[in-house]
Structure 1
Amino acid sequence: MANKCLWCKQTISQELRVSFIMSFKPYVAVLMCEKCRQLFSPIDQATACPGCGRRQKQPRLCEDCQIWQTRHEPQLSNHALFPYATVQEYMSRYKFQGDYELRKLFQKQFQSFILASTSGALIVPIPISEKTFAVRKFNQVEGWLEGMSYQRMLDAESRDGLPQSKKDKRERMQLKQPFSVRNAWEGRLKNRSICLIDDVYTTGTTLHLAADLLYSYGAKNVSSITFAR
């Protein structure tokens, strides 16, 4: 059987062995060819920064996380699947150009990464504002989580001015609280463990603000996982 790689559009040939046919297992199409798969090298979790998940050679807090330590309590521990440089073009095509089909390329890998990094925590995707959704037509994080159990616990305010992706580091660090807890969850967060899911950890401000809000409602522990760092 043959299908096309979602990334390079080249044909992928799959040989169905007799043993597989006789097993009556469902056929699962390969969505990315091996050549393209090699382009996306994940972060080595054994040496990643324990604070933000940044790729590095030693498992110690990076300079950015050392700064967060001096200005923020409690600390937020983030795990990231890919270094941003590796998936920058992918994010451009998926998130900003709106190629929603590309969500499928990393759904299983990202979901497996999330499940391996959480233990009983409620999975909560970072929301996008109604204004952004009206333009993009989808939440890129929820696209990866399709078929997985998660909670829409937060809402994001629509704001004037530049989107997050267009702001520099100083402007990101000065971001005001953009989130609110949905009414249905206001009295249900006490002593809960929550894992926030976002696309990219840049300065960490967005995730820290979301964590602050959840802690103010009584959450016991808030961690985060991002697709990229």
Structure 2
Amino acid sequence: MKEVMAKWKYRGDYRLVDLFDSQLQKKYRECWPRGQAVIVPIPLSEERFAERGFNQAEALARCVTNKPIQALSRIHSEKQSKKSRKDRMMASNPFRVEIPINKPVILVDDIYTTGRTLEFAAQVLVEAGTPSVESFTLVRG
């Protein structure tokens, strides 16, 4: 999985998302059979998006919905993969709410390592009025 993720994220092989599509759909329906939450992918900074050419979390979100909501923006910072656990836990919140959502949200991301990214994103959403936030990730790192 590590090799697939490296090819997908860092070498720009966007079509590898197809490997995950059916399993993501199946797991999503198992976890949220009513499907009434708003799907919000974790955003990349503009700089990171320019490097990669796509947002992997958005690609995963599109596996479970045709209309993920780009409710958050992200301030550019050092890559999470380059940070130690301690650095991740001490970092400041890089997210800002662009579109407040007053319905339950499911945050979608590719890798769950410390949970800090999802925690930060959930924090700003809840502060902006989102009643509940859950997460859906592809792999645990």
TM-score (norm 1): 0.56
* CA distance, structure 1, for counterparts of residue 5 and residue 124 of structure 2: 27
Q: With a CA cutoff of 8 Å and minimum separation of 6, indicate the structure with the bigger relative contact order.
A: 2
In 1, Cα distance between the equivalents of 2:11 and 2:30?
30
Quick one: distance in 2 between partners of 1:113 and 1:197?
A: 13
Aligned 8 A contact 1:201 1:228 in 2: yes
The one of 21, 30, 47 aligned to 1:107: 21
Would the aligned equivalents of 2:60 and 2:110 in 1 still touch at CA under 8 Å?
no
Letter in 1 for 2:135: S
Matched, 1:172 2:82: no
Which residues in structure 2 correspond to 1:111-190 (within 5 Å)? 111-118=25-32, 119=34, 120-146=36-62, 148=65, 149-159=67-77, 162-182=78-98, 185-186=99-100, 189-190=101-102
The answer on 1:207 being equivalent to 2:121 is: no
Taking every aligned residue pair, what percent have the same amino acid on both sides? Answer: 39
| Aligned residues of 2:60 and 2:109 also touching (Cα < 8 A) | no
Contact 1:104 1:144 in 2 (8 A): no
> Residues 74-118 of structure 1, C-alpha deviation per residue, up to 9 Å, x if partnerless?
xxxxxxxxxxxxx21111111111111211111121133223222
Gaps of 5+ in 1: 1-86
Structure 1 residue runs of 4+, over 4 Å off?
none
- Shift of the alpha carbon at 1:205? 0.6
Between Structure 1 and Structure 2, the one with more helix by share is: 2
Q: How does the TM-score come out when normalised to structure 2?
A: 0.89
Q: What secondary structure sits across from 2:62 in the alignment?
A: coil
Higher deviation after alignment, 127-136 or 137-146? 137-146
For residue 197 of structure 1, what is the aligned residue in structure 2?
Answer: 108
Computing the radius of gyration over CA atoms, which structure comes out larger, 1 or 2?
1
Tell me the number of residue pairs that the alignment of Structure 1 and Structure 2 aligns: 136
Q: Which runs of 5+ in 2 are unaligned?
A: none
Question: CA–CA distance in 2 between the matches of 1:157 and 1:114?
Answer: 29
Contact 2:8 2:16 in 1 (8 A): yes
Structure 2 residue aligned with 1:81: none
Question: C-alpha distance in 2, partners of 1:141/1:165?
Answer: 15
Residues 41 and 107, structure 2, Cα contact 8 Å, conserved in 1 = yes
